[in-house]
């Protein structure tokens, strides 16, 4: 089973590493006007509750307060493990769902929810066009998103799994910085790279997807073999790789090349905000979108819809960089200045992407092929 590992530079951090989290959501809460009360059919005076199931790295208490104020519902948040575990629980409990809505299933697993009829299609009102390309539509949809087509899964945030480097290390060695996937297999970069095991890490799985998109199903395993032949090291999770092996990870690492995130350079910015000590190679990025949705059979579908509406509101979207180190999906939310300078969203031409349905169909086979190729 794949696991989402802690990442202070990509919202998978231990929350003590992000002291701004409480402040950001507290500001959102302060900006919420009390919503009108609604009757949920439970009887006059009964609390109107809605439950959101999330991955284990979500700011549960802060979100519950802000969402309750914004929606008028009493929002409860329950953690259901990492993204893979959350997906499995939602599939296993379909028909008697553990919550009304969910958030935190990413591109690697998203199509599994659609294929297993776990979700009730819903399209939040008033969305920007930027949502259209990221949303996942019901299987029976013709594929052309328009205002009449509900979403099976609604995008809430996005990240990019990318190779990160330590530019100062290369400058000190008088060595040209690598720029591409292929550069990592060159002799001058031997023994410098640390990867993540795609069978144990969703971040590693995302990097694997990027290599499949780049080199094809017939070439990705050979690329991984070339990396291994050039001395690449594989770690089980992000923390072991970034904090333990990367030269800019804050420890005693010796590897100046690591699989991490496009947002990681925003985490290594100097105190004055003038510079960063790491750099993402944007041509090595694969996209990770995190989705929310209404669960089929929800006890409170209207409340679930209200929570999904809140997740894509400008109010909540503005908190995403500071609270989860991910990129918001709404185009009207400006990134913090340091993100705009040092951690920009990769362009579509820089992303090595596959549709979620293709990932679901191919993932197990790719992992098997890679295990046979390099002995994972």
User: Using N-to-C axis directions, what is the helix angle for 60-71 and 20-30, rounded to 10°?
Assistant: 10
DSSP H/E element including 316: helix 314-317
Do 303 and 275 reside in the same domain of the chain? no
43: region left, alpha or beta (phi > 0 left; psi from -120 to 50 alpha): left
- The percentage of the chain sitting over the pLDDT mark of 90, rounded to a whole number, equals 62
The CA-CA-CA angle for residues 281, 153, 55, to 5°, reads 70
Q: Torsion angle, CA of 177/181/187/192, rounded to 10 degrees?
A: 70
Q: How far apart are CA 250 and CA 279, in angstroms?
A: 15
Average predicted confidence (pLDDT) for the chain: 85
> For residue 311, is pLDDT > 50?
yes
Among residues 80, 17, 78, 19, the alpha carbon closest in space to that of 239 is found at: 17
**Residue length of the chain:** 376
Verify that 275 and 296 share a domain, yes or no.
no
Same domain, residue pair 198 and 132? no
pLDDT at position 142 is 54
On whether the pTM is more than 0.85, the answer is no
Q: Is the residue at 137 inside a domain? A: yes
Q: What pLDDT does 141 receive?
A: 61
Q: Are residues 170 and 133 in the same domain?
A: no
**Phi and psi at residue 268, to the nearest 5°:** -100, 20
With respect to residue 25, please indicate whether it lies within any of the assigned structural domains. yes
Residue 142: inside a domain: yes
| Structural domain contains residue 326 | yes
CATH number reported for the structural domain that contains residue 150 in this entry: 3.40.190.10
Residues 19 and 85 in one domain: yes
| Residue 10 belongs to a domain | no
The number of folded domains in the chain is 2
| Long-range contacts from 12-15, C-beta under 8 angstroms, 24+ separation | 12/57, 12/203, 12/238, 12/325, 13/57, 13/325, 15/57, 15/59
CA dist., res. 301 & res. 111, Å (int): 21
Tokens 């591409």, residue? 180
Can you tell me the mean pLDDT for 86-95? Answer: 94
Q: What is the mean pLDDT of residues 166-187?
A: 97
Are 344 and 286 in contact, with CB atoms under 8 Å apart? no
The per-residue pLDDT for 285 is: 96
pLDDT at position 164 over 70: yes
Q: Is 232 inside any structural domain?
A: yes
Q: Residue with structure tokens 């993204």?
A: 83
Same domain, 151 and 167: no
Is position 6 within any domain? no
Residue listed under structure tokens 């290390």: 169
Structure confidence by residue, pLDDT tens digits, 3-58: 333 343 434 433 222 223 344 444 444 444 333 333 433 333 234 999 999 988 78
pLDDT digits (tens, 9 = 90+) for 217-266: 999 999 999 999 999 999 988 989 999 999 998 888 999 999 999 999 99
Helix or strand holding residue 77 (H, E): strand 74-79
Residue 33 maps to a domain: yes
CA 283, CA 137: separation in Å to the nearest integer?
28
117 with 261, same domain: the answer is no
**234 in the same domain as 138:** no
Structural domain of 32: 15-158+288-342
Q: Using CA atoms, how far apart are residues 339 and 10, in angstroms rounded to an integer? A: 12
CA-angle at 366, arms to 93 and 238, nearest 5° = 75
């Amino acid at each position: 089973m794949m696991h989402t590992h802690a990442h202070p530079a990509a919202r998978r951090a231990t929350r003590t590493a992000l002291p701004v989290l409480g402040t950001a959501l507290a500001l959102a809460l302060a900006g919420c006007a009390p919503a009108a009360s609604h009757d949920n059919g439970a009887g006059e005076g009964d609390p109107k509750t809605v439950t959101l199931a999330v991955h284990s790295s979500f700011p549960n208490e802060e979100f519950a307060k802000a969402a309750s104020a914004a929606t008028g519902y009493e929002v409860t948040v329950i953690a259901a493990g990492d993204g893979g575990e959350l997906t499995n629980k939602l599939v296993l409990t379909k028909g008697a769902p553990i919550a009304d809505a969910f958030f935190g299933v990413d591109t690697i697993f998203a199509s599994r929810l659609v294929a297993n009829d776990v979700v009730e299609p819903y399209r939040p009102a008033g969305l920007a066009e930027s949502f259209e390309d990221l949303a996942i539509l019901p299987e029976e949809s013709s594929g052309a998103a328009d205002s009449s087509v509900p979403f099976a899964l609604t995008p809430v945030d996005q990240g990019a799994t990318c190779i990160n480097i330590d530019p100062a290390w290369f400058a000190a060695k008088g060595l040209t910085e690598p720029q591409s996937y292929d550069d990592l297999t060159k002799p001058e970069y031997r023994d410098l790279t640390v990867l993540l095991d795609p069978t144990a890490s969703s971040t590693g799985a995302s990097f694997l997807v990027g290599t499949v998109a780049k080199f094809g199903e017939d070439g990705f395993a050979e690329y991984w073999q070339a990396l291994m032949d050039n001395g690449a090291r594989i770690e089980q999770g992000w923390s072991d790789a970034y904090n333990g092996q990367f030269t800019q990870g804050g420890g005693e690492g010796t590897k100046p090349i690591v699989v991490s995130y496009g947002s990681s350079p925003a985490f290594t910015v100097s105190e004055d905000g003038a510079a960063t000590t790491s750099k993402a190679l944007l041509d090595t990025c694969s996209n990770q979108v995190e989705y929310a949705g209404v669960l089929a059979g929800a006890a409170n579908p209207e409340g679930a819809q209200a929570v999904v509406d809140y997740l894509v509101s400008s109010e909540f979207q503005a908190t995403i960089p500071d609270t989860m180190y991910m990129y918001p999906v709404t185009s009207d939310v400006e990134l913090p200045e340091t993100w705009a300078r040092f951690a920009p969203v990769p362009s579509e031409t820089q992303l090595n992407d596959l549709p979620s349905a293709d990932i679901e169909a191919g993932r197990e086979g790719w992992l098997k092929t890679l295990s046979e190729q390099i002995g994972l």
